[in-house]
Amino acid sequence: MAILPSTRNKPISPQFSRWHLAGLRWLLTPLLGIGLWLLWTWAAESERYPAFILPHPEAVLLRLQTLHERDLLMGHIWATLRQALTGLALAVCLALPLGYAVARNRWVSALLLPYLVAIRAIPVVAIAAIVVIWLGTGIESKVFVVTFITWFPLMEATVVGIQSVDPTCAT
């Protein structure tokens, strides 16, 4: 077996590689969008699925235009954004102090961490049904679900961040 010279370790000019990747990105992104649009159109026209499951792309655009003309779309977007930001704010208010306490105090960590991990292990789908029974279908249940989804990653990031600080640098 002959050994051929490898081109794998040859340095590539940074100018060429940056230009090459940028050019590919600008070319492939619209092509991917067009391809997905064509695939969606083909799948909708094949009538394998009913229109309420896979509507035609033009029907979706017409519906969006109708919602925009009636000023319904922005109202729904603002309501969803308000609920999401409220849930996130509650999660931050819970997660940061709790994460700080868990990171700085080993007794708090030993006491709370098993329960916090157990609560996080509960699937959101299982919690959602109970939340709807307890809080109803209003804003409260949606804010609670957002808070439930986001508080643990925020708390975990707080614990890891605080524990990774060098004690000699902290004041």
Section 18-47 average pLDDT: 85
pTM of the predicted structure, to 2 decimals: 0.66
pLDDT tops 60 at residue 2: no
Among the residue ranges 39-43, 53-57, 167-171, the one predicted with the least confidence is 167-171
Average pLDDT of the residues of the chain? 86
User: Which residues have C-beta within 8 Å of that of residue 167, sequence separation ≥ 6?
Assistant: none
Section 96-111 average pLDDT: 93
Q: Are 139 and 76 in contact (CB under 8 A)?
A: no
Predicted pLDDT of residue 166: 84
Tallying the residues shown for the chain, one arrives at 171
Return the percentage of the chain with pLDDT > 90, whole number.
57
Q: Are 135 and 111 in contact (CB under 8 A)?
A: no
Neighbouring CB atoms inside 10 A of 40's CB total 15
